[in-house]
Amino acid sequence: MDLKAGQKLHSAVCDAQFVVVRAPTGPVDVTCGGAPVLDAPPEASTGTVDPAHSEGVLVGKRYVDEETNLELLCSKAGAGSLAVDGRAVALKGAKPLPSSD
């Protein structure tokens, strides 16, 4: 799937929703809960979350795949976890504040 910054994505198997913050240069396979993510919101969840991909995502958190330079912002929490091209996507850490010497 080719992604663009600002694009909204929806999980097919849980309530999770995402916004693309930084898009990769080429096509990638993004999954949530073991199923491909969708451009349009599904009428209803079609299937169940794969137990191997059930860590969940948290609203307001950013998820980053360093290999493809993809960054997603979770706009609605869900039970499925994210993966890109079969790799688990990591939660982006906070930037350290400068010291106040």
Query: Structural domain of residue 19, as residue ranges?
Result: 8-91
Domain count for the chain: 1
Residue 78 has pLDDT above 80, yes or no: yes
pLDDT in tens, 80-89: 999 999 999 9
Establish if 100 belongs to a structural domain.
no
pLDDT in tens, 40-61: 776 666 678 888 888 999 999 9
Establish if 53 belongs to a structural domain.
yes
When pLDDT is cut at 50, 70 and 90, the band that residue 35 belongs to is very high
pLDDT in tens, 4-22: 999 999 998 998 999 999 9
Say how far apart CA 63 and CA 31 lie, in whole Å: 13
What pLDDT shows up at residue 43?
Answer: 67
Establish if 83 belongs to a structural domain.
yes
Is residue 9 within 8 Å of residue 20, measured between CB atoms?
Answer: yes
